[in-house]
Amino acid sequence: MKIKLPRIFLIILGIGFLINLLQSYFTPLIFDEAYYWHFASDMAWGYFDHPPLVAVLIKISSFFFDGELGVRFMSCILSTATLFILWCTVDLPRKKEYVIHFFVLAYSMTLLNAYGFFTLPDTPLLFFTALLLYVYKRFIESPDVLWGIIMGVTMAGLMYSKYHAALVIIFILLSNLKLVLNKYAWLSVCIALLCYVPHFIWLYDNDFVTINYHLFDRPNDPYNFTKYTLGFFVNLVAIFGLTFPWIYWGLFKTKANDKFTRALLFLVYGILIFFFLSSFNRRIQTQWIIVINIPLIVIVFRFMMENETAKKWIYRMGLVNIIIILYLRIGLVYEPMSPIYYETHGNKELAEDIKAEVGDMPLVFENSYRGASMFGFYTGNNTFSLNNESYRLNQYSIDNSEATVQHQKILYLSSRSSDADVSFTKNDRRKIYGKYIDNFESFRKLKTILEAPINFNLEQEQTFQLYNPYEFDIDLSKLKFNVAYMTDFKIVKDKLPIKPTLKDPNISTIKAKDTLTYSFKFPKPRKLNDPKYVRIGIMENRINYGINGRNTKVE
Residue 1 included in any domain: no
Torsional class of 425: left (φ above 0), alpha (ψ -120 to 50), beta (otherwise): beta
Q: Are residues 359 and 292 in the same domain?
A: no
Q: Are residues 493 and 426 in the same domain?
A: no
Q: Which helix (H) or strand (E) holds 88?
A: helix 69-89
pTM of the model: 0.94
Q: Are residues 319 and 373 in the same domain?
A: no
Residue 79 included in any domain: yes
Q: How far, in Å, CA of 53 to CA of 149, rounded?
A: 20
Residue 123 included in any domain: yes
Q: How far, in Å, CA of 127 to CA of 147, rounded?
A: 18
Query: Would you call 2 exposed, middle or buried from its count of C-beta atoms within 10 A (0-12, 13-18, 19+)?
Result: exposed
Q: Are residues 382 and 262 in the same domain?
A: no
Q: Could you list the beta-strand ranges (E) of 15-56.
A: none
Task: Report the percent of the chain where pLDDT is more than 90.
Answer: 87
Q: Are residues 191 and 258 in the same domain?
A: yes
Task: Determine the structural domain holding residue 180 and report its residue range.
Answer: 7-335
Q: Are residues 120 and 146 in the same domain?
A: yes
Give the residue from 306, 335, 364 where a domain finishes. 335
Residue 342 included in any domain: no
Q: How far, in Å, CA of 404 to CA of 390, rounded?
A: 24
Residue 355 included in any domain: yes
Q: Are residues 220 and 327 in the same domain?
A: yes
Q: Are residues 531 and 410 in the same domain?
A: no
Q: How far, in Å, CA of 327 to CA of 238, rounded?
A: 17
Per-residue pLDDT tens digits of the chain, which is 555 residues long = 566 899 999 999 999 999 999 999 999 999 999 999 999 999 999 999 999 999 999 999 999 999 999 999 999 999 999 999 999 999 888 999 999 999 999 999 988 888 899 999 999 999 999 999 999 999 999 999 999 999 999 999 999 999 999 999 999 999 999 999 999 999 999 999 999 999 999 999 999 999 988 887 777 788 889 999 999 999 999 999 999 999 999 999 999 999 999 999 999 999 999 999 999 988 999 999 999 999 999 999 999 999 999 999 999 999 999 999 999 999 999 988 988 888 999 999 999 999 999 999 999 999 999 999 999 999 999 999 999 998 999 999 999 999 999 999 999 999 988 889 999 998 767 899 999 999 999 999 999 999 988 999 999 999 999 999 999 999 999 999 999 999 998 999 999 999 999 988 899 999 999 999 999 999 999 999 899 999 999 999 989 999 999 999 998
Sheet with 447-449, strands from edge to edge, namely 447-449, 462-467, 515-520, 501-502
Q: Which one-letter DSSP state was computed for residue 125?
A: H
Tens-digit pLDDT profile for residues 410-446: 999 999 888 899 999 987 678 999 999 999 999 999 9
Domains contained in the chain, number: 3
Alpha-carbon torsion angle 115, 118, 122, 127, nearest 10: 60
